[in-house]
Chains A and B, each alone.
Chain A
């Protein structure tokens, strides 16, 4: 029995970190209606940045947040401004922005394979002060790094929620997401909002990267499994919904760890895809999605 409780909690811990990557994806989709397929690769960029920062300076791993998050914010900001914006503009009035989707896939390929070229295919582990440390609660053991990660996720979720609901910029973001034209008429500069949102989406990946590096391998295609899980999570939670993304992440995390108690880990992967297809079949708007979004 205690084993199940332990695995459920472990699932929640890992799942909230999945949710963290999904938050960035859902934020970008919510405003731009573009699924950023390069999201996992941006996470990979963040993980390499955090890895090198931690390894070269030897400081507390969470100090990397200060460097990696702004770095990825500007990375996303300029990626949107230089690469995606011109294509997005051309396709603004098309119902299905397919070209943008495929271009982000192109970015994914370029980034992943550049990383392969530069860093090689080997798996790296950052040696930090929290790596491998466990916390004991009532005879159950949890990795410290995951507990800290979950805490950071929740803080970020609350901050984003407050930012979107109450800050001036957040209101502008929401207005753009609801109605591009009307927002423009109110004097909100659309392209600037898109740049900022893309930057913020990528910055979420930066947070996730710093949280992951103390306990996860870093390698050039590390983004792919996270990418695909993030797709599943955002659809499950409802594309565009931030609480949905975190909750969806937790659900996927629980399926993964609890499923592993009953079957081989490769089968749980299968289970996640099946679950995803069922959600698409039954309720494509997800748990928190708005009807208009699909």
Chain B
């Protein structure tokens, strides 16, 4: 617990309070539509936090993370459909597959400049999508190309990762998000975290101090891809039907990057803040204006991104946390007085 020693008490109390409210939320919110919106907010916050390991801390810009979401979803679902392996185990398998692909793609590209890395990740994600769309059968696995995969409904079953109510999904993704945030917290204060920060800002200086920058970037990439793929399995089990365009399309990759940059890259809470700001806009405009004004939410995303980058290039988490810290300080002072 020595990691927590320099965190002020008010922050801890606040964090505990927020967590308690979020965990108690399904007791008050019972509408499945509302719960679904919250699930998607947490899902995107989770994906973006996973993205953050490489996009934030390693200081590069991956724009193809949907490929790893897709790898996770496809691996676990194919294992489940073909060999009836529980998606919980398939989830880990998917993570390992995604991490392997992440290493493969990171190995040649992570030492290149940011622009090259961004382009390489796009090419990888699009290439993988086209590949999956072209495969009908892979050994004994029925990949079904562009038609996608459908998971049979079996009712409430923990082993099959299927629930009729939205509440279990809510708790699963919330817990996954909390765990990844804790991991981020420790990562930032670990040796690897400091090496990455140094390598991201001044690679030459870091190399000169004997830090193997590309090695740590690769580690970050593998962790990031692993975690992203776990999210992919979750998504597959949530929607029970997906196809290459829906789960590994470029739109999802960009949305992850948008959320990260609007919220605040290389911060713990930036992705969460970004997801809480963007996802509801996306969902609500899609539900209420999707027929009359298609694509409106994407225009809003783009504009918000441009404006935030113009006036708060480090993301919105900076002003928000400043504002919160001011309030906490006042509380702290009043408590002391």
Contacts and interface: CB of A to CB of B under 8 A. Distances in A.
Interface residues of B, number: 44
B294 A121 contact: yes
Contacts, number: 141
Interface in B79-134: 105, 108-109, 112-116, 118-120, 122-124, 126-127, 130-131, 133-134
B280 interface: no
B148 interface: no
Interface in A81-133: 83, 86-87, 90-91, 95-99, 101-103, 105-110, 112-114, 116-117, 121
Contacts of B126: 228, 273
Given A101-B61, A101-B114, A231-B123, A280 B109 contact: yes
B131 A270 contact: yes
Contacts of B120: 276-277, 280
Nearest to B201: A95
B296 interface: yes
A209 interface: no
Given A117-B294, A266-B133, A273-B124, A102 B109 contact: no
B299 interface: yes
Contacts of A99: 261, 309, 313
A113 B296 contact: yes
B123 to A, nearest CB: 5
Given A108-B302, A274-B127, A91 B313 contact: yes
B122 A284 contact: no
A190 B295 CA distance: 37
Interface string B155-178: 000000000000000000000000
A87 B115 contact: no
Nearest to B120: A280
Nearest to B127: A273
Interface of B: 59-61, 63, 105, 108-109, 112-116, 118-120, 122-124, 126-127, 130-131, 133-134, 203, 250, 254, 257-258, 261, 293-296, 298-299, 301-303, 305-306, 309-310, 313
Closest 8 pairs (CB-CB, A-B): A273-B127, A96-B114, A113-B295, A109-B302, A110-B302, A106-B305, A106-B302, A281-B108
Interface of A: 29, 33-35, 83, 86-87, 90-91, 95-99, 101-103, 105-110, 112-114, 116-117, 121, 224, 228, 231-232, 235, 239, 264, 266-267, 269-270, 273-274, 276-277, 280-281, 284, 293-294
